[in-house]
Amino acid sequence: MTETEKPYFIGTVKAIFFENPENLYKIFTIKVKKTNTDWDAGDIVVTGSFGEISEEEEYRFEGKIVDHPKYGKQFQATTYKRTMPSGRKELISFFSSDEFPGIGKKKATQIVDKLGDNAIDKILQDPSALDFLKLGEEKTQAMIEQISSNHLAEQALFQLNNYGFGTTLSARIYQKYGAQTLEKITEDPYRLVVDVKGVGFKRADELAQRLGITGDDPRRIKGALIQMVSSVVNETGDTYVDGDLLIKRVSGALRFNADDEMMKKLVEGLRNLVKDGILTVEDGHVYEKGMSDNEWSIAQSLKMITDSFKGTPWSKKDLKRELKQIETDFKVQYDDSQVRAIEQSLLNPVFLLTGGPGTGKTTIINAIVAAYAHLNDMPLDPDDDSYAIALAAPTGRASKHMSESTGLPAMTIHRLLGLTGTEDDEFAEPSLDCKLLIIDEMSMVDTKLFKVLIDAVQPGTQVVLVGDQDQLPSVGPGQVFSDLIHSQVFPTTMLKNIHRQDEKSTIIQLAHDINEGIIVDGIFQNKADRSFIGCTSRDVPEVLSQIIQKSGDRGFDISDVQVLAPMYRGQAGIDNLNFVIQDVVNPMKPKRKEVSVGNVKYRINDKVVYLVNTPEEQVFNGEIGKIIGIILAKENTDHVDKLVIDFDGNEVTLDRKDWVNVTLAYCTSIHKSQGSEFEMVILPLVNEESRMLRRNLLYTAVTRAKRLLIMVGDRSAFERSIKDQSSERQTTLKERIFVTFKIKTNVTEADEDSVEEEPKEYHLTMDMVMNNSINPMIGMDDIIPSDFIEKKEA
Ligand SMILES: Nc1ncnc2c1ncn2[C@@H]1O[C@H](COP(=O)(O)OP(=O)(O)OP(=O)(O)O)[C@@H](O)[C@H]1O
């Protein structure tokens, strides 16, 4: 090997024993034919990211020899190339191989006779070189594609690598565009911002610069606009970005002077994105593709449900009688607001019920179900043909709670709708054949999911949405539950009385006080069921270790203890606390099995959380499980490391490539904890997290504790959380509802058409952009929500 020559191996692939479709990483063995290294072995192991690799084919790999601590000597390939067959004999056997169905030895010989030893190059350069075979267009095309596919994948991955993309991103890009990768990204590198997760504007901009796309190139402007809308919406949870703000931010990102000429170009860019259906602009608000339609669609479906409701076959008197009966049966006396809630839910097509912990939401769901069934002569038996009640919640835990408390089947909204939790859900159009639909934990439902859910409801169905509007809003954009309540268009009951009878419990009262913004001194005093331990963020890990140790001594199983934190980073952040707690409750000991991925180590008994939806395995985002088995690659015939995890009785085996879907769960985010409750919650809050500290965050965390709550950290961080009201998310769902419901009451047919037709007309004018004169309520001055209620009830 000369100094400049890179180490290489040429060999035939024998067996591929690991493949990660996410990043195309593969591990396989080759039978070595030639090498410039002094590693003299018949078969070697090769690793790396490869577009396509076929067994029994010959390739040339360049890279370096490494000594893996566990698996020994391997060749880590950075580039690879299929060695093209050369020489008459090899070429004939190549063309007559299984890769080219319909080409036998005779035709293969003809090709080589006609095109010579350079046959492959000739075909790649000029596909008409094969015309003489008269195979027909389809077959010829298939043959050319087969020849070029490997060649193109290599070329593309090599070039992407040159452009500075790492293996994972290169693989994602190649998976998206396939053979057209280079053509597509050189034509418009900014398309990566839309098409490939993980490529932002800055990255695409660097590539664009290398390709000579700079300054005010329309492609550059377009890329910056798309990226900015997406990042603002994901950061804030708003459903749109204010047009002015967008233009300001984008001109900053593009380093444009805010002169008229540049503004015109930005507005033009926006206009084109609207034309191409990538963004929507309405009343000066800029929405990501589909988001504006989602809001309209929700409003229209709610209107359809409202309009199609023809009343009940029983009278209000029957209902009163039924309520008395239920009180007797359930041995409970409902308070006034609870009675109102039960009545309104049964009398109306759409009803909203909100209340804090212990106010009786579950109690009311039980009453609604029982009364509905009895009043409609329907047995409360899911196996009976006439049973038509659907109960669902956004998380597995919440739906399980619903099912346990009602004794009826309840499921996740995804399962109810047959959704997969992937991007395909956007195009799903399921249909629900129930007559009464009750959704719990409604504050967690985002705009996209609610759109699919409410669109699936059939005319005549009654819908009851239950939740706690003061909790954190959904992770995805929107705040549907809060918007529906604040629209005041639908009958709503807010439960305020706390009914939970536990005299000793002070946690619920604390939660209500927090919600009211009351900072009572008592919050920092120790009570039987809660305590506060003041410390700095540096001390949080140590304090937490001690609490966890003591909780174990007091008989708490770690599955009942949950540490909840707002952020991932920092000493008191989720990532660090997980390592700290793991060391206390499940430390490494000699001879214990341990596997690692990145800097996370997994051992048997570790508490983990699942991060995606996998309906085939019946395991969903946010579910907490325990590792009950570790099967090493050398112990199974697949030659892959595996984790066996018990998710509440459902055992799931995850191959190493799927470990990205789990993480340690001794400490989880407060956001993820929504919809779950734990016997004991430990809540560290520190001043470093000030950006996140809001009342609804603290309220959500505190309300997760059933028996014990231990607050740790900076006193001022807790006080700040109580004081800082969270700002409302920016959405236009309420306005859509006002417009849509006004149609029903007093607008003409012509107006109706103009709303139902896609409301896409481009409104953002230069004036608007420059003068900050955009008003989302344009044209709605004369409507106030209570107008509608009065009309409805009249
Ligand atoms: N009117 C009532 N009279 C007596 N007890 C009641 C009444 N309403 C509710 N309860 C009791 O109060 C407790 C809390 O009620 P429930 O579980 O329905 O509240 P919740 O709002 O669903 O609470 P969480 O959101 O915390 O689960 C239960 O034990 C329930 O039996």
CB of residue 471 inside a 6 A radius of ligand 1 = no
- With vertex at residue 510, the alpha carbon angle to CA 509 and CA 515, rounded to the nearest 5 degrees, is 95
Report d(CA 229, CA 95) in Å as an integer. Answer: 51
Burial label, 767 (beta-carbon count in 10 A; 0-12, 13-18, 19+): exposed
Asked if the model's pLDDT at residue 251 lies above 60, the reply is yes
pLDDT in tens, 622-633: 889 999 999 988
CB of residue 335 inside a 6 A radius of ligand 1 = yes
Atom of ligand 1 nearest to the CA of 495: 21
**Least confident range of 26-35, 145-154, 466-475, 569-578:** 145-154
CA of 518 to the centre of ligand 1 (A): 23
Report d(CA 696, CA 702) in Å as an integer. Answer: 10
- Phi, psi angle pair for 648, to nearest 5°: 50, 50
The reply to whether 362 sits in an annotated binding site is: yes
For ligand 1, atom 26: residue with the closest CA: 357
The reply to whether 361 sits in an annotated binding site is: yes
For ligand 1, atom 9: residue with the closest CA: 360
pLDDT in tens, 343-354: 999 999 999 999
pLDDT in tens, 18-46: 777 666 778 899 999 999 999 988 899 99
Asked if the model's pLDDT at residue 586 lies above 80, the reply is yes
For ligand 1, atom 23: residue with the closest CA: 358
CB of residue 334 inside a 6 A radius of ligand 1 = yes
CA of 569 to the centre of ligand 1 (A): 37
Asked if the model's pLDDT at residue 706 lies above 80, the reply is yes
Report d(CA 29, CA 33) in Å as an integer. Answer: 13
pLDDT in tens, 271-281: 899 988 889 99
**Least confident range of 169-183, 435-449, 771-785:** 771-785
Q: State the residue for tokens 């085996």.
A: 653
CB of residue 675 inside a 6 A radius of ligand 1 = no
Question: For residue 615, what pLDDT band results from cuts at 50, 70 and 90?
Answer: low
**Least confident range of 43-57, 231-245, 388-402, 640-654:** 43-57
For ligand 1, atom 25: residue with the closest CA: 357
Helix (H) or strand (E) holding 27: strand 25-35
The closest of 8, 10, 27 to 633, measured between CA atoms, is: 27
Q: 714 Cβ partners below 8 Å, 6+ apart?
A: 534, 535, 536, 537, 685, 686, 687
Residue ranges and CATH numbers for the domains of the chain are 8-159 (2.40.50), 197-282 (1.10.10), 308-495 (3.40.50.300), 518-723 (3.40.50.300)
Share of the chain above pLDDT 70, in %: 91
Chain centroid to Cα 574, Å, comes to 19
CA of 29 to the centre of ligand 1 (A): 62
* pLDDT at residue 284 in the model: 87
CA of 467 to the centre of ligand 1 (A): 14
Burial label, 213 (beta-carbon count in 10 A; 0-12, 13-18, 19+): buried
Half-sphere exposure of 385 (CA within 13 A, CB side): 0
Reading across the β-sheet that carries 642-647, which strands appear in turn? 650-655, 642-647, 624-631, 607-610, 662-664
Helix (H) or strand (E) holding 315: none
CA of 550 to the centre of ligand 1 (A): 31
Contact at 8 Å (CB) between 435 and 389? yes
Asked if the model's pLDDT at residue 771 lies above 80, the reply is no
Report d(CA 719, CA 699) in Å as an integer. Answer: 12
Asked if the model's pLDDT at residue 757 lies above 70, the reply is no
Q: 587 Cβ partners below 8 Å, 6+ apart?
A: none
CA of 660 to the centre of ligand 1 (A): 39
AA letter at 405: S
For ligand 1, atom 29: residue with the closest CA: 500
Burial track 21-30 (b if 16+ CB lie within 10 A, e otherwise) = eebbbbbbbb
Asked if the model's pLDDT at residue 258 lies above 70, the reply is no
- Take residue 30 and report the two structure tokens written for it: 């080759």
Atom of ligand 1 nearest to the CA of 355: 21
**Least confident range of 2-6, 457-461, 588-592, 611-615:** 2-6
Atom of ligand 1 nearest to the CA of 499: 12
For ligand 1, atom 24: residue with the closest CA: 357
CB of residue 706 inside a 6 A radius of ligand 1 = no
Reading across the β-sheet that carries 667-669, which strands appear in turn? 530-534, 705-713, 678-685, 561-565, 667-669
Report d(CA 495, CA 500) in Å as an integer. Answer: 13
| ipTM field | 0.97
CB of residue 64 inside a 6 A radius of ligand 1 = no
For ligand 1, atom 28: residue with the closest CA: 500
Higher-confidence residue of 482 and 773: namely: 482
CB of residue 355 inside a 6 A radius of ligand 1 = yes
CB of residue 361 inside a 6 A radius of ligand 1 = yes
CB of residue 394 inside a 6 A radius of ligand 1 = no
CB of residue 356 inside a 6 A radius of ligand 1 = no
**Average pLDDT value for residue range 224-231:** 88
For ligand 1, atom 16: residue with the closest CA: 360
The reply to whether 33 sits in an annotated binding site is: no
Atom of ligand 1 nearest to the CA of 334: 1
Ligand 1 pocket mutation, candidates 342, 362, 704, criterion most atoms within 8 A of CB:
362
The reply to whether 359 sits in an annotated binding site is: yes
pLDDT in tens, 89-119: 888 988 888 778 888 899 999 999 999 888 8
Note the residue count of the chain: 794
CA of 700 to the centre of ligand 1 (A): 18
- With vertex at residue 462, the alpha carbon angle to CA 675 and CA 416, rounded to the nearest 5 degrees, is 45
* pLDDT at residue 377 in the model: 92
Higher-confidence residue of 499 and 758: namely: 499
- To the nearest 5 percent, what fractions of the chain are helix, strand and coil? 45, 20, 35
CA of 785 to the centre of ligand 1 (A): 31
Q: State the residue for tokens 């659907």.
A: 390
CA of 497 to the centre of ligand 1 (A): 10
CB of residue 61 inside a 6 A radius of ligand 1 = no
For ligand 1, atom 6: residue with the closest CA: 499
Higher-confidence residue of 522 and 393: namely: 393
**Least confident range of 53-67, 512-526, 756-770:** 756-770
Question: For residue 454, what pLDDT band results from cuts at 50, 70 and 90?
Answer: very high
Asked if the model's pLDDT at residue 790 lies above 70, the reply is no
Report d(CA 695, CA 698) in Å as an integer. Answer: 5
* pLDDT at residue 637 in the model: 79
CB of residue 396 inside a 6 A radius of ligand 1 = no
CA distances (Å), origin 217, targets 95, 374, 692: 46, 67, 38
**Least confident range of 157-166, 199-208, 740-749:** 740-749
Ligand 1 pocket mutation, candidates 328, 500, 505, criterion most atoms within 8 A of CB:
500
Asked if the model's pLDDT at residue 770 lies above 50, the reply is no
Which 3 state secondary structure label does DSSP give 436? strand
CA of 484 to the centre of ligand 1 (A): 24
CA of 34 to the centre of ligand 1 (A): 75
**Average pLDDT value for residue range 647-671:** 90
Most confident of 68-77, 214-223, 314-323: 314-323
If you compute the radius of gyration of the chain from its CA atoms, what whole number of angstroms results? Answer: 31
Phi-psi region of 178 (alpha: psi -120 to 50; beta: other; left: phi over 0): left
For ligand 1, atom 31: residue with the closest CA: 363
The closest of 221, 239, 236 to 285, measured between CA atoms, is: 239
Q: 757 Cβ partners below 8 Å, 6+ apart?
A: none
Torsion of CA 240, 241, 244, 246, to 10 degrees: -140
* pLDDT at residue 393 in the model: 95
Q: What stretches of 165-217 show up as alpha helix (H) in DSSP?
A: 167-177, 181-187, 191-195, 201-210
CA of 499 to the centre of ligand 1 (A): 5
